[in-house]
Chain A
Amino acid sequence: MNYNVNEKGYYGDFGGAYIPEMLYPNVEELRQNYIKVMQEPDFQKEFKELLKEYVGRPTPLYYAKRFSEKYGTKVYLKREDLCHTGAHKVNNTIGQILMAKRLGKNRIIAETGAGQHGVATATVCALMGLECIVYMGAIDIKRQAPNVARMKMLGATVVSAESGSKTLKDATNEAIRDWINNPTDTHYIIGSVVGPHPYPDMVARFQSVISEEVKKQLLEKEGRENPDYVVACVGGGSNAAGIFYHYLDKPEVGIIAVEAAGKGIHSGESAATSALGKEGIIHGSKTLLMQTDDGQITEPYSISAGLDYPGVGPMHAHLFRSGRGEFISVTDADAMQAGLDLCKLEGIIPAIESSHALAIFEDRKFRKDDVVVVNLSGRGDKDLNTYIEYFKLA
């Protein structure tokens, strides 16, 4: 089976470009050019240089000794938390800003939930001297004040999305509406492997640097390129796509996707899309999404704003349906505890998103000599307030 995108923009049953005609010229321009542009030597050169000199890649593949001892297996952490701006999101924004420049666009828009993608976009716009407008749900603006301030310091305009439920899905709607209203000079930097084709594939390719590095690093450390498992949290699925990418066609590598169960899958407050979602259309893509029987998109919940999305990217919907991926969901409580455990065991404060991936070891048992690589997608600085409130640390 093929786990990558086909020439029509589908992963199995999922993907495509279900967009209004107003977006067609922009999306089509991108579709026709993205692979060609990415393969140009000078694009590759600039992309690699920025990832090295500006983002700080390659990020370490760190053997987590005490964490491994606790769970009786060999756990490596891919340290995306050490990227400039604090998460993997910047790999994609670097790639897309270079793409936007080559397509002649001078105005950049983005959506953001927790603010990580907004900060990563504002950062690369500052770097390139381009105008930057970030849409963010009114509720998220209140929850994520430090990231709002960071975006403003970086010169971005933050626009409050006041429609619908005023969170990530609505911020995405507003960004898409902005693009409809600005059809010639604007590029939309989507923050995950979601949206109409070619976005899921383009973002996955930019994030694939993560597994490209893991292969080399693991060869040095373990004498083999392939771990037994790769594990990542899934909001839209970009950090997961990045660490799965070069292993999709390696059946000997188990793929584990971790979703946010919120207060429990059946609590009515959850973001576990594979468990609760049905096939449908969200933000221009046919995928699994949480919705009512009538096809209205419902509001997800997770303590982690980055996982608080009612869909998953079409690649992940396909990994789920085909059985290639193992999907596990983790509650707020278990994720928070796993985050705190990592602080105490390894001296690393993880983003709450990443803590979800760390939490599976309590119940999901691995063999003693299994090599398990967990994508530590981001650092926890942005989540300090949530950690403080949750554990009454202050």
Chain B
Amino acid sequence: MNRINKKLQEDKKLLSIYFTAGYPKLEDTVPVLEELVKSGVDMIEIGLPFSDPLADGPTIQESSTTALKNGMTTTKLFDQIKDIRKTVDIPLIVMGYFNPMLQYGVEKFCKACSEIGIDGLIMPDLPLAEYEEHYKATFEKYDLKMVFLITPQTSDKRIKQIDTASDGFIYMVSSASTTGKTSGFSNVQREYFERIDALNLKNPQIVGFGIKDEETFKAATKTAKGAIIGSAFIKMLTEKGIEGISSFIKSIRP
């Protein structure tokens, strides 16, 4: 069974962390990964940096720009993590934009992920229709779970389509925003979380965007299976470096 599906069966709320590969330093990718695992996170999204990250706010944009300046590339990332399964056994997901994957070659990219032991992919700008028509067969051949996003504006009909097309979890974007908005959750979000919960989808949901501390993690996972922290983690990493990881994770889930 794919590690993602297995992890989702565990009887607890999952904490997933997003970080940008090659940030703050080019060779920090593996040390960050290993420190996250040691700190007890349940799942990790490895961000492949892109020059034009449309769905991201300033924090992830800046970390991407720095990572690219440091020399991060698709080839470099695959090389850095080629032996990662010797030390890490939690689910690993590569998150990036579609153009770098397209240039690398979709099949070649999937094959490399599968050889490394990557479990899934999040490509925010590869939409459902294109995926199903052109790429699904390839992703499935390499047992890579494609994770789709939903937002408060996504219609129930489309959510059901996405649920049918998914096998793993649904990435539930907490509010209409790019990444890194930190205003906390209002009633609007709570109603949205409950509305989705009431749909009884076959895939569990993991909430992302705007999770930054224990309070927002708790609020998000009241109904959802887990939550993803990205910008808040990158901010911490910028300020405190790898040494700050374990106390950050403890502060989210004491």
Q: Which residues in A have some Cβ–Cβ distance to B below 8 Å?
A: 16-22, 24-25, 163-164, 169-170, 173, 176-177, 180-184, 278-284, 291, 293-298
Contact = CB atoms under 8 A, between A and B. Distances in A.
A25 B74 contact: no
A16 B154 contact: no
A24 B154 contact: yes
Given A21-B148, A281-B97, 15 more contacts: A20-B149, A22-B55, A22-B153, A24-B153, A24-B154, A164-B52, A180-B54, A180-B55, A281-B125, A293-B103, A294-B75, A294-B100, A295-B101, A296-B50, A296-B68
A181 B151 contact: no
A293 B151 CA distance: 33
B2 to A, nearest CB: 22
B187 interface: no
Interface string B105-148: 00000000000000000001111001000000000000000001
Contact of B130 (A18, A173, A297): A18
The 10 A-B pairs at the shortest CB distance, nearest first, are namely: A295-B103, A295-B100, A21-B149, A296-B51, A20-B124, A20-B55, A183-B176, A25-B153, A294-B73, A281-B99
Contacts, number: 110
Contact of A181 (B101, B150, B178): B178
Contacts of A281: 97-99, 102, 125
28 contacts: A16-B130, A18-B98, A21-B127, A21-B148, A21-B149, A21-B173, A22-B178, A24-B153, A24-B154, A24-B158, A163-B61, A164-B51, A173-B52, A180-B54, A180-B55, A181-B181, A184-B176, A278-B103, A280-B103, A284-B54, A293-B103, A295-B50, A295-B99, A295-B102, A296-B51, A296-B100, A297-B99, A298-B51
A297 B158 contact: no
Interface of B: 50-52, 54-55, 57-58, 61, 65, 68, 73-75, 97-104, 124-127, 130, 148-151, 153-155, 158, 173, 176-178, 181
Given A163-B58, A177-B54, A282-B52, A22 B103 contact: no
A281 B73 CA distance: 17
A25 B148 CA distance: 15
Nearest to B128: A21
B177 to A, nearest CB: 5
A243 B153 CA distance: 38
Contacts of A163: 58, 61, 65
A25 B177 contact: no
Contact of B51 (A19, A184, A293, A297): A297
B136 to A, nearest CB: 16
Nearest to B100: A295
A180 B53 CA distance: 13
Contact of B102 (A17, A25, A280, A283): A280
B154 A180 contact: no
B173 A22 contact: yes
Given A20-B54, A21-B148, A280 B153 contact: no
B97 to A, nearest CB: 8
Contacts of A20: 54-55, 124-125, 149
A183 B99 CA distance: 25
A176 B124 CA distance: 14
B154 A18 contact: no
A333 B111 CA distance: 48
A296 B51 CA distance: 5
B204 to A, nearest CB: 18
A51 B58 CA distance: 40
A216 B127 CA distance: 42
A281 B51 CA distance: 12
A177 B51 contact: no
Contacts of A182: 176
Contacts of A18: 98, 125-127, 130
A331 B154 CA distance: 47
A320 B82 CA distance: 40
B52 to A, nearest CB: 5
Nearest to A280: B99
A184 B100 CA distance: 31
B18 to A, nearest CB: 15
A291 B103 contact: yes
A24 B127 contact: yes
A282 B99 contact: yes
A21 B150 contact: yes
B149 A297 contact: no
